[in-house]
Structure 1
Amino acid sequence: MRKIFCFGADKGGPPSGPSSHHGQTREGLEGEAGDSAFLQPRYHIWKKDLSQIHQAASAGDVAKVEQILLLKKKVLDARDRKKRTALHLACASGHPEVVTVLVDRKCKLNVPDSEKRTALIKAVQCLEEECATILLEHGADPNHSDVYGNTALHYAVYGDTPSIAAKLLSHGANKEAINKDHLTPLLLAVSGTKEEMVEFLIQKNADINAVDKMNRTALMLAEHHNSPSILHLLEEAFTTKFQNIKKKR
């Protein structure tokens, strides 16, 4: 089950309740970013607060979006009360056809919303891989960070989506980006006991010596969270690194 961080788009009624977050708790995500960033819901959609272009984008109504843009070109990058563009809403709601229309019309790709999240960050946060792919292929910035210091790669790690993480890295995402808790994507993966992501990032040569704001390494975090399988992966990585250093001497 994938669309779990975010609330579903409302058709005009009140927002729904919180989601299950993959069954995860806040354990392992201590600090400012852990308390709030990864528990953010999908956008609350209040139809009455949205303009026509925002409503159409959120609903995935391609024909309506095209009609509106034909008559009102200036609304392409219009922002609502929460500084969201039609692109933000299309990505968060999972409408790649609308995203394609908007990017083909040369919309601005890296506009930040009220939490400084770009459309790419929202697409990744809400596990909308197709939308994220379209944005990356059109030049969206993979290294923009939100108010918590998280980049799209941090959200790909939290969402346990190596396929999205791989696409981000192939388009220049910084695998050593640090959020406000001083967590790199690898440290975040270890903290969240996400074994698949840890293995993936090790394979991508993420820095296994990075430390969080409490000067804890990935190994220390794995021990702290009682993750023997992750601890084993890290120990193997350290051994391989040491052997490679010896060979070079």
Structure 2
Amino acid sequence: MLPFIPKQPAIKQESTACWRSNVDEALDTELHHVAERGDATEVKKLLSTEDGQASVNRRNDYGCMPLHLAAARGHEEVIRLLVRTEAKLNFPDVKAQTPVLLAVKGKHVGCVRILLEAGANPNGWQNSLCTPLYQAALDGCLEIVRELVTHGADVDLSHIRVGLFVCTPLYGAIIHKRLDCFKFLLCSGANPNYNKNRVQKLFPGRAVQSFFHAVVKHKCPPEYAHLLMEFGADLYQRDEMDKTAGDLHFKSDTVDYIKELAATPKTLKTTCRLFIRGTLGREDVHRLPELPLPTKLVHYLMYKPECGEILELQLET
């Protein structure tokens, strides 16, 4: 079945006033040093002392707690020990990076999983430009993308903007041609018309480029355009220069394919699939197997012909 799309978790954000006051204390503690080294035995000893416990949520010059350092270095056992001692999971460092984001940047899948299972916010810090999911999609780390989505990460959330265009995780997958992440995000409910819908709501009459424009500009192969079409992206959306993706002056197989798509009506199968999935909505689309339909048809509605290997990977976990 499709990746389960849970409702967004209600995660409490800690007050910034608290951590800013702690930054003034400035110096690394012994717990910072051993956590960064990954010395779980020494961490355990320190946590059994009063001074060690008082250092769990202390910050150094960079606003890092011991948990930040352990997450950045990929020390799973140290993270487990700190989490059990009530380390703050969602505090940012001075760059607005939470431990989850640092673990994502280091591609430490196990650390990401431990933090998320302990209740860390999969969307990171609210004032950070980069969300954990955007970073994972940009890096092409499918395992981490899957962990974040499974634990409730918003598949469309991003604070990175270029003009009116919001660089969602789907765009992050386009930039570096991360096809597996691109497929997974679409199957997980990423909106291929996110920017169009957002701009029309906030600025009626204004234009913004589509993901079709993005796949052309970033020289992605035609498969990206095919997937966007199958998932319902608007092929005729015009950018700020009043051009569709097919109008762009790029010589590539992708532009030729987009022009071919624009001249060909969608099949009835594709139209019906989009209508059925749209009727269910993102939060209920994982219930497609419950429909009283032949297995082959259910598989089609779940995009198995296009994304079968990605869906199988999800089922195995």
TM interval, shorter chain, is 0.7 to 0.9
Q: How does 1:24-35 map onto structure 2 within 5 Å?
A: none
User: In 2, distance between residues paired with 1:110 and 1:202?
Assistant: 27
Aligned mates of 1:136, 1:186 — CA distance in 2? 21
Question: Deviations for 1:28-47, whole angstroms, at most 9, x for unmatched residues?
Answer: xxxxxxxxxxxxxxxxxxxx
Q: Give SS of 1:136's match.
A: helix
1:37 aligns with: none
1:68 counterpart (42, 46, 51)? 46
Q: Distance in 1 between matches of 2:102 and 2:130?
A: 12
**For residues 90 and 241 of structure 1, what CA distance do their matches in structure 2 show?**
47
- Of the three residues 209, 212, 219, the one matched with 1:219 is 212
Scaled by the length of structure 1, what TM-score is found?
0.74
Q: Which has the higher contact order (CA 8 A, sep 6+)?
A: 2
Give the whole-Å Cα distance in 2 for the aligned partners of 1:216 and 1:162. 26
Shift of 1:221: 0.5
1:192 is the counterpart of 2:176:
yes
Residue matched to 1:172? 152
Question: How far is 1:220 from its partner?
Answer: 1.2
- Write the distance in 1 (CA, Å) between the matches of 2:32 and 2:271: 54
1:119 aligns with 2:148: no
Q: Helix, strand or coil: the match of 1:76?
A: coil
* 1:54 and 2:83 are equivalent in the alignment: no
Where does residue 140 of structure 1 map in the other structure?
Answer: 120
CA 1:199/1:245 → structure 2, altered by over 3 Å: closer, same or farther?
A: closer
Q: CA RMSD in A?
A: 2.2
1:244 aligns with 2:273: yes
Separation in 2, partners of 1:245, 1:57: 49
SS in 1 for 2:59: coil
- Please list every run of 5 or more consecutive structure 2 residues that lacks an aligned counterpart in the other structure: 1-26, 200-206, 233-265, 280-317
**For the structure 1 residues 200 and 147, does the alpha-carbon distance in structure 2 shift closer, same or farther, using more than 3 Å as the test?**
same
| Partner SS state of residue 157, structure 1 | helix
The Cα shift of 1:79 comes to: 0.6
The match for 1:201 is 185
1:161 paired residue number: 141
After superposition, the Cα gap between the structure-2 partners of 1:54 and 1:192, relative to the gap in structure 1 and judged at 3 Å, is same
Larger Rg: 2
1:106 aligned to which of 86, 97, 101: 86
- In the TM superposition, what is the alpha-carbon distance from 1:148 to its structure 2 partner? 4.7
> In 1, are the aligned partners of 2:133 and 2:145 still within 8 Å (CA)?
yes
Q: Supply the distance in 1 between the matched residues of 2:186 and 2:275 (Cα, whole angstroms).
A: 19
Give the C-alpha shift of residue 158 in structure 1. 1.3
Following TM superposition, by how much is the alpha carbon of 1:241 offset from its aligned partner in structure 2, in angstroms? 6.2
1:210, 1:218 within 8 Å by CA — same for their partners in 2?
Answer: no
Structure 1, unaligned runs of 5 or more: 1-48
Deviations 1:198-236 (A, max 9, x none): 111111121011228982211110112221221222122
CA shift, 1:55, in A, is 0.7
Cα distance in 2, alignment partners of residues 146 and 246 from structure 1 = 34
Once the 2 structures are TM-superposed, how far is the Cα of residue 192 of structure 1 from its aligned partner?
2.5
CA contact (8 A) 1:65 1:98 kept: yes
In 1, the alpha carbon distance for the partners of 2:147 and 2:274 equals: 29
- Please say if 1:84 is aligned against 2:64: yes
Equivalent residue letter for 2:87: C
Deviation at 1:191, TM superposition (A): 2.5
% same residue: 28
Q: 1:133 to 1:246 in 2, by over 3 A?
A: closer
Write the distance in 2 (CA, Å) between the matches of 1:74 and 1:152: 29
